[in-house]
Structure 1
Amino acid sequence: MTTATIPAAPATTAHTAAPAFTADPTVHRVLTGDRPTGPLHLGHYFGTLQNRVRLQRQGVEMFVVIADYQVITDRDSADRLAEHTENLVLDYLAAGLDPDRATIFTHSAVPALNQLLLPFLSLVSVSELSRNPTVKDEIAHSGQAAVNGLMFTYPVHQAADILFCKANLVPVGQDQLPHLEVARTVARRFNERYPHADGSAVFPRPEALLSDAPLLLGTDGGKMSKSRGNAVSLGATEDETARLIRGAKTDTDRRIGYDPVNRPEVASLVLLAALCQDRTPEEIAAELGDGGSAVLKRTVTESVNEFLRPMRDRRAELATDRGYLRQVLRDGAERANAVADATLAEVRAVMGSI
């Protein structure tokens, strides 16, 4: 498997746009993933899944981690973990990820990956972790009276996720850049402290592939979330989809327009219909005219159901064979373990711990 050599980068995180790497996609290795806390929804599809499938088709090597250990960063227990994990695999495959080309695995199935956390923690100070803005935000929204150690250190755990396979490209949103900067810092400091005998680096410094995915709001006008019941899941029935969209928040203006600043809820619904129809939101808004929210919601419902129908059919077919889903995870774990074991052996060698 091929990885690119990342040149020395400035202190701030490097950003890569899609056109910059498609000329030779095979030199890139991507690490991406999700926590198994519930079903994936339309926000996930248009925000990440669609792009993962596109990258895979372009020939980019992809590792997809189902971050089961990270479920307990902000909750007391990992409820229905096996079920949620298998359902994530269902969503991945139904969306178009090919398990023969993408390595799909769980945290807990790759011990060597998690062993990297220990030397990596020695490279990051407590004050650096406490200043991480994403960690501070997660802590503020966790609802927990006390913060556990995993919550505090999980940016370093994510660095292990990225670096175990020597990923050099990580799709992230703007709010996740601080986490990627931790991975880049860990890679730089490890390379400086423990270079190969010839002076070469062990780890690449991963770059951010910033998403240009559109922002879709939940049906309540807030952030679309698995836990808030405000999102259409990829596995929802057509009737469930209609019910959720029928209850979506809009406004009293009958004229349908696309104005994300002043009419965010209406604009989000217009955008969703546009994404499903592969058209511009302006075209959808102009077509709906003075139809009001009822016509808008009917159009969105029909668009979503039509768009998701092939994916849902594929998902229903795959769901009849749970053994196959577990085999996908076993195969992915076997490949991920081979990579992680080699990386850990290399780390031990340069640290002189063999």
Structure 2
Amino acid sequence: MNTTPQTVDPDTSASSPSADTLGMSAVQARSAVLEERILKDPGQFRVLTGDRPTGRLHLGHYFGTLQNRVRLQDLGVEMFVIIADYQVLTDRDVADNLTTHVEELVLDYLAIGVDPARSTIFTHSAVPALNQLLLPFLSLVSVAELNRNPTVKDEINHSRQSAVSGLMLTYPVHQAADILFCKGNLVPVGQDQLPHLELTRTIARRFNDRYGNGTAVFPQPDALLSSAPLLLGTDGTKMSKSRRNAITLAADADETARLLKRAKTDSERHITYDPATRPDVSSLLLLAALCLGRTPQQVAADIGSAGAAALKKTVTEAVNEYLAPIRARRTEYAQDRAYLRQTLREGNERARAVADATLAEVRAAMNSHY
């Protein structure tokens, strides 16, 4: 893989619209344009994406982000996939079972089709130069800006920490370092992550203005808005690792059947797709539809008045059939832990080379390259 950061098309940097200035409709329109450009010339894009190692990934993750990562990779987009081990500590006091969780993430990535030859899988803690970017980046934002970030406010409200840490408050700046260390110019995000990305754009712009001397050291990355559907957990709330309401990619067929058997539905026997008034039934229909390559309405029409038991049977069969090849690959990779460690070691080496080059450029721009 070429470790030299790619040149960013000006259309994807300073001239591109932001969520603050043009609103959501403009961001959505911009995403549509970006999708067209990806198909025409995927090599002009570099994507940063990833997950925190806090447990096994589930179907919400898969249909929300993982499937799209593989799609972009297969189109030819350069991918950096970060396992954000330091960021585990943003909302909890201790990072439990970290080694196991990191390996589980690598297993999930490989099983779904992330190819280490085309996508760089790496961890925060193994790339010192990335984390060192946090220091100059913090000097470019005010405390007031950090305090009013809506995503951070929500994360603080749901934090498991005994007190809010400095890492939690500066979480968006750390994410900016994640994106900008590799000069990522495209970030797949949900709408709730747009404030984080907007701060990354602000940091890139301010660094360029203050230290660039007429040159754009960093791109201002674009948001590629996710059209991913919202899948509810088996208890009718948001699907989450911590709520124990999710079907993980690693779950076997029997466990999947048990989880779906106790999934919430409602008292109406005739099955219809109506997310507004029947969210639990509709989420199950959507899950079956995603696995079957059909629409939720088509799945509902097939079930008709057969009731919740028939719905759950349909969903269980669809999920287990869809996940069977992924689970088989996962089981195969799990037999070779040395390969998992090799994958991570090689990815860390590639990420370090990119981060070292970026930090050297930053030091030169700041006249601190001694």
TM band (smaller chain):
over 0.9
3-state SS of the aligned residue for 1:258? coil
Partner in structure 1 of residue 277 of structure 2: 262
Partner in structure 1 of residue 336 of structure 2: 321
Amino acid in structure 2 at the alignment position of 1:321: D
Choose which of 125, 129, 140 in structure 1 pairs with 2:157.
Answer: 140
1:25 deviates by 1.0
1:269 deviates by 0.2
1:136 deviates by 0.3
Whole-angstrom distance in 1 between the partners of 2:296 and 2:19: 34
Whole-angstrom distance in 2 between the partners of 1:78 and 1:66: 13
For residues 285-309 of structure 1, what are the alpha-carbon distances to aligned partners after superposition, in whole Å with 9 as ceiling and x for unaligned?
0000001000000110010000000
Partner in structure 1 of residue 75 of structure 2: 58
1:4 deviates by 1.9
Partner in structure 1 of residue 49 of structure 2: 32
3-state SS of the aligned residue for 1:31? strand
For residues 268-296 of structure 1, what are the alpha-carbon distances to aligned partners after superposition, in whole Å with 9 as ceiling and x for unaligned?
00010010001111110000000100000
Amino acid in structure 1 at the alignment position of 2:62: Y
**Structure 2: 5+ residue stretches without partners:** 21-26
Whole-angstrom distance in 1 between the partners of 2:329 and 2:301: 34
Question: What does 1:193-272 align with in structure 2 at a 5 Å threshold?
Answer: 193-196=210-213, 199-272=214-287
Amino acid in structure 2 at the alignment position of 1:246: K
Partner in structure 1 of residue 167 of structure 2: 150
Whole-angstrom distance in 1 between the partners of 2:345 and 2:306: 51
1:261 deviates by 0.5
Partner in structure 2 of residue 161 of structure 1: 178
Whole-angstrom distance in 2 between the partners of 1:7 and 1:127: 24
Partner in structure 1 of residue 368 of structure 2: 353
Whole-angstrom distance in 1 between the partners of 2:16 and 2:47: 18
Whole-angstrom distance in 2 between the partners of 1:307 and 1:144: 37
Partner in structure 2 of residue 8 of structure 1: 15
Amino acid in structure 2 at the alignment position of 1:195: G
Answer whether contact 1:3 1:167 (CA < 8 A) is retained: no
Whole-angstrom distance in 1 between the partners of 2:38 and 2:315: 34
Choose which of 261, 267, 287 in structure 1 pairs with 2:302.
Answer: 287
Answer whether contact 2:93 2:162 (CA < 8 A) is retained: no
Amino acid in structure 1 at the alignment position of 2:141: V
**Structure 1: 5+ residue stretches without partners:** none
| Identical aligned residues as a percent | 71
For residues 188-239 of structure 1, what are the alpha-carbon distances to aligned partners after superposition, in whole Å with 9 as ceiling and x for unaligned?
000000014xx21100000000000111000000000011110100000111
Question: What does 1:91-106 align with in structure 2 at a 5 Å threshold?
Answer: 91-106=108-123
Question: What does 1:71-86 align with in structure 2 at a 5 Å threshold?
Answer: 71-86=88-103
Whole-angstrom distance in 2 between the partners of 1:179 and 1:20: 24
Question: What does 1:112-131 align with in structure 2 at a 5 Å threshold?
Answer: 112-131=129-148
Partner in structure 2 of residue 342 of structure 1: 357
Whole-angstrom distance in 1 between the partners of 2:296 and 2:106: 31
C-alpha distance 252-16 of structure 1, shift in aligned 2 (>3 A): same
1:20 deviates by 4.3
Question: Structure 2-normalised TM-score?
Answer: 0.93
3-state SS of the aligned residue for 2:120? strand
Whole-angstrom distance in 2 between the partners of 1:270 and 1:172: 24
Amino acid in structure 2 at the alignment position of 1:233: T
Whole-angstrom distance in 2 between the partners of 1:36 and 1:137: 20
**How many residues get paired?**
352
Whole-angstrom distance in 1 between the partners of 2:156 and 2:305: 44
1:8 deviates by 2.6
Amino acid in structure 1 at the alignment position of 2:61: H
Question: Structure 1-normalised TM-score?
Answer: 0.98
Answer whether contact 2:122 2:348 (CA < 8 A) is retained: yes
